[in-house]
């Protein structure tokens, strides 16, 4: 269900917080089945790109399993509609442009202010970018910068501000959406594939921070 490049389980160590990679844990923990329910009772999550697509589906699954969610997106009408469908007790919508660090920080702070804790940050917002260039020489760097800002830099902001809140508690989970294009190469728009490769690299890099 969740197309995640990696999951960081933040656990306290002598030198601070040491993230541990656990592949497949997202599927085991959050996948839907007839026999599973309320797996996330008492948990609080921030989900970016939650007004539609994977983010919306994830938010609904989290709520079905008992979590409280902050839906962070720039699609205000859609986001408010999803929050309304999930119910005021379970979901809140906040406008969040993930390319603006202050917006990401505010979404994290909203979760803590409203629910007193933050257990999961799912950095999911992303864009495909423009049409693939005919040649590498034709790559539009303005489009590249825009895609990287949304798909890669925003995830650094999510990692940073999730850790800011989770590290003192020595507990938490960070998920980042990547893509098969990250490892299979140019099977999608060039800038998109590069951005998703960056996501995989940054998750691997911060594992030992």
Q: What is the pLDDT of residues 176-186, one digit of tens each?
A: 999 988 888 76
pLDDT of residue 31: 47
The one catalytic residue in 179, 180, 193, 195 is 179
Between these two residues, 188 and 99, which has the higher pLDDT value? 99
pLDDT digits (tens, 9 = 90+) for 40-56: 999 999 999 999 999 99
pLDDT digits (tens, 9 = 90+) for 72-109: 999 999 999 999 999 999 999 999 999 999 999 999 99
How many Å apart are CA 167 and CA 75, to the nearest integer?
30
% of the chain residues with pLDDT over 90 = 68
Q: Is 192 a catalytic residue?
A: yes
pLDDT of residue 112: 97
How many Å apart are CA 201 and CA 32, to the nearest integer?
29
pLDDT of residue 181: 85
Instruction: Examine the pLDDT at 137 and tell me if it is beyond 60.
Output: yes
Q: Is 60 a catalytic residue?
A: no
Give the pLDDT mean for 57-75: 97
Sign of CA dihedral 100, 103, 109, 111: negative
**Distances from the Cα of 146 to the Cα of 106, 131, 140, 180, angstroms:** 22, 13, 10, 20
Measured in degrees and rounded to the nearest 5, phi and psi for residue 146 equal -65, -45
Q: Is 144 a catalytic residue?
A: no
The one catalytic residue in 39, 43, 60, 196 is 196
Instruction: Examine the pLDDT at 14 and tell me if it is beyond 70.
Output: no
Query: How many Å from the N-terminal Cα to the C-terminal Cα in the chain?
Result: 28
Distance of CA 3 to the CA centre of its chain: 10
Determine what percent of the chain falls in helix, strand and coil, rounding each to the nearest 5. 45, 20, 35
CB 176 within 8 A of CB 5: yes
Instruction: Examine the pLDDT at 24 and tell me if it is beyond 60.
Output: no
What domains can be seen in the chain, in order of their start residue? 4-22+38-206 (3.40.50.720)
| Bridge partners of residue 16, in order along the sequence | 13
């Amino acid at each position: 269900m969740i197309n995640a490049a990696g999951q960081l389980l933040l656990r306290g160590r002598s030198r601070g917080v040491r993230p541990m990679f656990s592949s497949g844990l997202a599927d085991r923990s959050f996948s839907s089945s007839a026999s599973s329910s309320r797996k996330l009772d008492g948990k609080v999550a921030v989900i970016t790109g939650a007004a539609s697509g994977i983010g919306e589906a994830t938010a609904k699954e989290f709520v079905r399993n008992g979590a409280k969610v902050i839906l962070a997106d720039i699609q205000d009408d859609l986001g408010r509609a999803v929050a309304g469908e999930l119910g005021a007790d379970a979901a809140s919508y906040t406008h969040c442009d993930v390319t603006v660090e202050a917006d990401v920080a505010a979404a994290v702070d909203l979760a803590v202010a409203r629910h007193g804790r933050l257990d999961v940050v799912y950095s999911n917002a992303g864009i495909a970018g423009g049409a693939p260039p005919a040649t590498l020489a034709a790559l539009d760097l303005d489009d590249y910068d825009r895609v990287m800002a949304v798909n890669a830099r925003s995830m650094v902001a999510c990692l940073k501000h999730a850790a800011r809140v989770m590290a003192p508690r020595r507990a938490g989970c960070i998920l980042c959406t990547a893509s098969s294009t990250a490892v299979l190469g140019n099977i999608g728009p060039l800038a998109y594939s590069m951005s998703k490769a960056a996501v995989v690299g940054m998750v691997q890099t911060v594992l030992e921070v």
